[in-house]
Structure 1
Amino acid sequence: MNSRRGLFITGTDTDVGKTQVAYGVAAALTHHLGIDDVRLWKPVQTGVSVGEENADSYRLRHGSRIGNQQEEDIVSVTLPDPLAPWIAARRSGLALDYHHLVEEGKTRLAQGGMWMVEGAGGLGVPLTKQHLILDLAKDLALPLLIVARAGLGTVNHALQTIAYARQAEIEIAGIILNGYQDGEEANVKDNAMMIEAFGDVPVLGILPWMAEEADDAWRMAWAATVAERVNLHQLIGLERN
């Protein structure tokens, strides 16, 4: 089976660690699976400026340490207000051109390589007055990687996200449960079992909480953790159960 040309990475909620998982997967694919030319794209980010250390574009570039993409190339639209893109754009006096964003995405995908495309929040986040993140994921036609919390409440959030994606006929590559604390692993495995049983979607990894740090040693440790605990081959379509 040929590998996928990329993944659209979404979360079940805000602050589930989607960006950290995204750059960890990119780094693990590059440095541990030996896949050349992994690329990153953040279509829209809000509440930051390019170059700020808390900007998703900055974290994607510096957290993954792959390729030669500059931060300005990783992100397409940056809006200052920490709100859904539709409202953040409106408050800035701008109008997001959804169709231009889709065409840009398709152009990037046509360049080759394996793309890790990170959405903004979850699938139900409004991009424009007429479009949600769900629509962008569908129009880019990339399989979905869902990042979910590890703990209590994640089964409900995960199943709702799965159902929403299926309603739009979006392929789901799998789910990663992120951020379990010491002593919680048994409960998280039960959560994974329930998600697989009721959602009919594979949980491809269970990741521990690792507070993000800026040094290279931490980045290498995080990439190694992702490589060890996530089924990367199945994630990118090189194998299926």
Structure 2
Amino acid sequence: MAIKGWFVTGTDTGVGKTQIASGLAALAGNKLGTPVGLWKPVQSGVSPGSPEADSFRLKMGSGLPLDETELVTVSLPEPLAPWMAARRSGVELDFAALVEEGRRRLAKDPFLIVEGAGGITVPITSRELMADLALQLELPLVIVARPGLGTVNHTLLTVSYARSRGLEIFGVILNGCRNTDDPSVRENSMMIEHFGGVRVIGILPWFKHPTDANDRWDDWRTQWVERMERNLDLSDWL
């Protein structure tokens, strides 16, 4: 059965999920010949329009002709896990509504890429985690991890928990490698595959994105997609 999409998660915050998700959306659109769906259910610590917002970087990085409000459903001001950020704002996130929104997008889009917040065990509400949303949407995980020291432990823990919850794992991406010739990065990849029984689908170099809304995003996107095509093995994607 063809994959309907991916749920992009990370081993930690700041590992480059947004950069990966936006690049995959641009790459998937090229491969399928039609724009794909891209969705961030919840972002925290920012507001749409800010160059620091995930919604802004998803829009600019993917090149999709969508408003930020179409890319993100809930934005919360405090830079915390969604459950706590919502509590501080005096609101309660509606998990069922997020699931319904995700399913509506899955039915509408030819391929949907969902970017979670933080890692797979980040709480959305007092009862549900990011893992629960991925399960409800029945999307395989793309796990984004750091390339350096400590990543084997973090990645294997993420893989183990995901499997314990019944989640399928499409693969792992080691992102932000500043020295692709460093043998330790390849060794980390080998250990993750050996002990995790999971595929590392690629090692991506560090590539800084623009920090404002100027036209450098078009050039950045072109170069980033080229790097992804060159370094990721997506041969069994569809």
1:39 corresponding residue in structure 2 = 37
Does 1:63 find its partner at 2:65?
no
Provide the TM-score with structure 1 as the length reference.
Answer: 0.93
SS at match of 1:121: strand
1:123 corresponding residue in structure 2 = 120
1:169 corresponding residue in structure 2 = 166
2:148 corresponding residue in structure 1 = 151
Moved more, 33-42 or 91-100: 33-42
- Identity in percent: 52
Alignment deviations for residues 164-193 of structure 1 (CA, whole Å, 9 cap, x no partner)? 000000010000000111265321111111
SS at match of 1:54: coil
1:9 corresponding residue in structure 2 = 8
Provide the TM-score with structure 2 as the length reference.
Answer: 0.94
User: What letter matches 1:209 in structure 2?
Assistant: W
User: What letter matches 2:42 in structure 1?
Assistant: V
SS at match of 1:130: coil
Cα gap change, 1:179 to 1:141, in 2 (>3 Å) = same
Task: Measure, in 2, the Cα distance between the counterparts of 1:55 and 1:103.
Answer: 24
Task: Measure, in 1, the Cα distance between the counterparts of 2:118 and 2:28.
Answer: 23
Does 1:223 find its partner at 2:225?
yes
Task: Measure, in 1, the Cα distance between the counterparts of 2:70 and 2:156.
Answer: 34
Q: Residue 71 of structure 1: CA displacement?
A: 1.2
Q: Tell me if structure 1 keeps the 8 A contact 2:36–2:109.
A: no
Q: 1:181 aligns with which of 178, 181, 193?
A: 178
Unaligned runs of 5+ in 2: none
Q: Residue 39 of structure 1: CA displacement?
A: 1.2
Q: Tell me if structure 1 keeps the 8 A contact 2:103–2:137.
A: yes
Q: Residue 112 of structure 1: CA displacement?
A: 3.2
Q: Name segments (4+ residues, structure 1) moved above 3 Å.
A: none
1:18 corresponding residue in structure 2 = 17
Q: Residue 135 of structure 1: CA displacement?
A: 0.8
Q: Residue 15 of structure 1: CA displacement?
A: 0.5
Task: Measure, in 2, the Cα distance between the counterparts of 1:112 and 1:39.
Answer: 5
Paired residues, number: 233
Q: 1:208 aligns with which of 205, 210, 216?
A: 205
Task: Measure, in 1, the Cα distance between the counterparts of 2:222 and 2:233.
Answer: 18
2:101 corresponding residue in structure 1 = 104
Task: Measure, in 2, the Cα distance between the counterparts of 1:3 and 1:206.
Answer: 24
Q: Tell me if structure 2 keeps the 8 A contact 1:7–1:145.
A: yes
Q: Residue 156 of structure 1: CA displacement?
A: 0.4
Does 1:141 find its partner at 2:143?
no
Q: CA RMSD in A?
A: 1.3
Task: Measure, in 2, the Cα distance between the counterparts of 1:94 and 1:184.
Answer: 48
Q: Residue 233 of structure 1: CA displacement?
A: 3.0
Alignment deviations for residues 10-68 of structure 1 (CA, whole Å, 9 cap, x no partner)? 0000100111011111112223x2442311000000000011111111100111103x3
